């Protein structure tokens, strides 16, 4: 995309998004990694910048903003289930509201992004208006947090570097963020480099089977680490944990609590006995209200619902994603409250904890016995953070900021490598992950638009400090780096001491 749009186009984009209703984080904290973004801390409560220091650089890793469903999968299978129940007159009054809500969910995802500037292919996987707004506001707060930093571009040759994974929703997040940044600081026009795309840096969890050619040692090692991670995903150790999690007796209780409010007892009995098998089969087509966009899709039949637990978990997924789709669902003729009403809080909490457990083993710190297989592929990204910081510390200040846009699968390994609270505590394979004993929570580690930011400050003597913000809240680096703080309990760290502290973590990512 072209970052150098006209002022009118930029104002149109921002005006459109400001007019849309912004999805706020719900009171119910049970949507796991699909939780809409909210900053952890107001700007006014951040620890003041030490006297004599001024901002000289900032860098960001951000997950894309709130999105719709990634494909026509269990949403269509659920609709097929609902249609069968309707034919059999097996719906409760609440269950009757589910069908129109499912139709609206399908329509909203088929046409997601239609008419939104910058989204060339409406449909599944795109960001919602709320997701784009999350990045617009993130950029505005960055400017407010670092007064004067972005004015330095107009007085020198400093640049803002923008890079993404190359996937549509990450690219769109980069666009929304950068246009908001330019609206707040027009003097940056002509000083934005990118956007570029780098899968090795920002999509390292799914690198291809073939090794890179004509590349650096670092990228070759990243490829090897990615392949090891992908082997782990299909390996016996992880599959055993996922199978154990899937046998949690709370799942059936939660499913019963959800489904008994929607369907008759006889229908649910037949479902549990295996009398039904619903899948995402068939072809559907939706056209936007203005007639400009039509999307027709045919399901692949791979998403199957043949039990109550499968049906309830599919409903949970729609409940979780609906919080970031408020505007789109309303335009499609439904309301997010329908999904809130369908999903009792106690059941939603069970499903969230089950998904947290699955993500803990598949994306998070996982098991001691497996070492750092889930995070070491992220060392290339940690190294990139330090490379940028090293240049600033040396006085090479061509870059004013580096902005990276990616995915939850990228944010999580970096948080683990940094040893951040809640993101790095592994478990023994014989002692399963339990929320009461482990700080891992998807809603806190990687909500929509999750981000890590390093702000750098320097004084006249050339000393450089770093402050870490995680989801815009002050965050400590790992506890073994406490000696790098400039004062007890301060969130400002001496960069030289911090760099030395992370030397071992960076050892496998040297050029």
Quote the pLDDT of residue 104.
97
Q: Mean pLDDT in runs of 10 for the chain (511 residues)?
A: 39 38 52 97 97 98 98 98 98 97 98 90 96 98 96 84 97 97 95 96 97 90 98 98 97 98 98 97 96 96 98 98 96 91 96 98 98 97 97 96 98 97 95 94 97 98 97 97 97 97 66 44
Quote the pLDDT of residue 506.
62
Exposed / middle / buried, residue 460 (Cβ in 10 Å: 0-12, 13-18, 19+): exposed
DSSP assignments along 390-414, one per residue: HHHHTT---EEEEEEEE-HHHHHHH
Quote the pLDDT of residue 505.
63
CA angle 121, 124, 126 (to 5 degrees): 65
SS3 50: coil
Closest CA to 220 of 212, 229, 209: 212
Q: Measured between alpha carbons, how far apart are the two ends of the chain, in Å?
A: 31
What phi and psi, each to the nearest 5 degrees, are found at residue 12?
A: -65, -45
Task: Name beta bridge partners: 452.
Answer: 61, 470
Closest CA to 161 of 144, 148, 178: 178
Cα(404)–Cα(427) distance, integer angstroms: 30
Q: Which residues of 55-77 are buried (b: 16+ CB within 10 A; e: fewer)?
A: bbbbbbbbbbbbbbbebbbbbbb
Tokens 């439904």 -> residue: 334
SS3 304: strand
Quote the pLDDT of residue 157.
81
Q: pLDDT, tens digit, for every residue of 142-162?
A: 999 998 999 988 777 899 999
Q: Which residues of 278-301 are buried (b: 16+ CB within 10 A; e: fewer)?
A: bbbeeebebebeeeebebebebee
* Strand 54-63 to 451-458 pairing: antiparallel
Q: How many CB atoms lie within 10 A of CB 320?
A: 24
Cα(401)–Cα(150) distance, integer angstroms: 9
DSSP assignments along 123-138, one per residue: STTPBPHHHHHHHHHH
Quote the pLDDT of residue 156.
75
Q: pLDDT, tens digit, for every residue of 87-115?
A: 999 999 999 999 999 999 999 999 999 99
Q: Is the dihedral of CA 220, 225, 230, 231 positive or negative?
A: positive
- H/E stretch holding 255 reads helix 249-259
* Measured torsion, CA atoms of residues 43, 49, 53, 56, in degrees rounded to the nearest 10: -30
Q: Which token pair is 478?
A: 């790992």
Cα(243)–Cα(224) distance, integer angstroms: 27
Quote the pLDDT of residue 23.
36
Q: pLDDT, tens digit, for every residue of 438-486?
A: 999 999 999 999 999 999 999 999 999 999 999 999 999 999 999 999 9
């Amino acid at each position: 995309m072209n970052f150098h749009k006209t002022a009118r186009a930029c104002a149109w984009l921002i005006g459109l998004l400001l007019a849309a209703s912004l999805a706020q984080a719900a009171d119910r904290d049970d949507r796991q990694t699909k939780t809409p973004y909210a900053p952890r801390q107001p700007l006014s409560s951040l620890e003041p910048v030490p006297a004599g220091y001024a901002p000289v650089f900032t860098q960001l890793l951000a997950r894309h903003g709130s999105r719709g469903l990634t494909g026509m999968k269990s949403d269509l299978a659920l609709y097929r289930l609902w249609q069968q129940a309707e034919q059999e007159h097996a719906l409760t009054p609440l269950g009757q509201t589910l069908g129109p809500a499912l139709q609206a969910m399908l329509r909203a995802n088929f046409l997601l992004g239609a008419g939104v500037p910058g989204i060339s292919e409406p449909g599944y996987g795109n960001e919602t208006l709320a997701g784009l707004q999350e990045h617009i506001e993130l950029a505005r707060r960055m400017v407010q947090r670092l007064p004067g930093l972005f004015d330095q571009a107009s007085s020198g040759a400093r640049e803002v570097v923008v890079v993404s994974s190359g996937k549509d929703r990450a690219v769109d997040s980069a666009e929304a963020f950068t246009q908001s940044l330019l609206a707040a600081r027009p003097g940056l026009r002509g000083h934005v480099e990118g956007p570029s795309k780098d899968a090795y840096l920002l999509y390292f969890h799914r690198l291809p089977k073939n090794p890179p050619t004509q590349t650096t040692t670092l990228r070759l090692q990243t490829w090897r680490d990615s392949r090891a991670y992908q082997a782990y995903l299909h390996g016996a150790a992880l599959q055993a944990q996922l199978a154990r999690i899937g046998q949690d007796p709370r799942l059936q209780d939660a499913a019963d609590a959800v489904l008994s409010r929607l369907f008759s007892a006889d229908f649910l009995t037949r479902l549990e006995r295996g009398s039904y098998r619903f899948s995402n089969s068939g072809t559907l087509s939706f056209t936007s209200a203005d007639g400009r966009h039509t999307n027709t899709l045919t399901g692949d039949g791979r998403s199957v619902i043949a039990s109550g637990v499968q049906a309830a978990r599919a409903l949970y997924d729609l409940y979780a994603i609906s919080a970031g789709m408020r505007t789109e669902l309303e335009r499609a003729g439904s309301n997010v409250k329908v999904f809130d009403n369908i999903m009792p809080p106690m059941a939603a909490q069970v499903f969230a904890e089950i998904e947290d457990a699955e993500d803990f083993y598949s994306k998070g710190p996982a098991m001691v016995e497996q070492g750092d297989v889930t995070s070491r592929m992220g060392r290339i990204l940690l190294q990139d953070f330090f490379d940028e910081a090293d240049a600033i510390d040396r006085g090479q200040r061509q870059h004013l900021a580096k902005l990276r846009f990616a995915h939850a699968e990228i944010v999580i390994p970096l948080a683990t490598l940094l040893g951040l609270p809640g993101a790095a505590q592994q478990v023994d394979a014989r002692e399963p992950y339990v929320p009461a004993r482990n700080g891992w929570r998807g809603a806190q580690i990687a909500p929509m638009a999750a981000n890590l930011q390093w702000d750098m400050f320097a004084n006249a003597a050339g000393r450089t400090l770093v402050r870490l913000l995680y989801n815009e809240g002050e965050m400590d680096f790992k506890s073994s780096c406490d000696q790098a703080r400039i004062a007890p309990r301060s969130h400002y760290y001496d960069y030289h001491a911090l760099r030395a502290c992370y030397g071992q973590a960076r050892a496998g990512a040297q050029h």
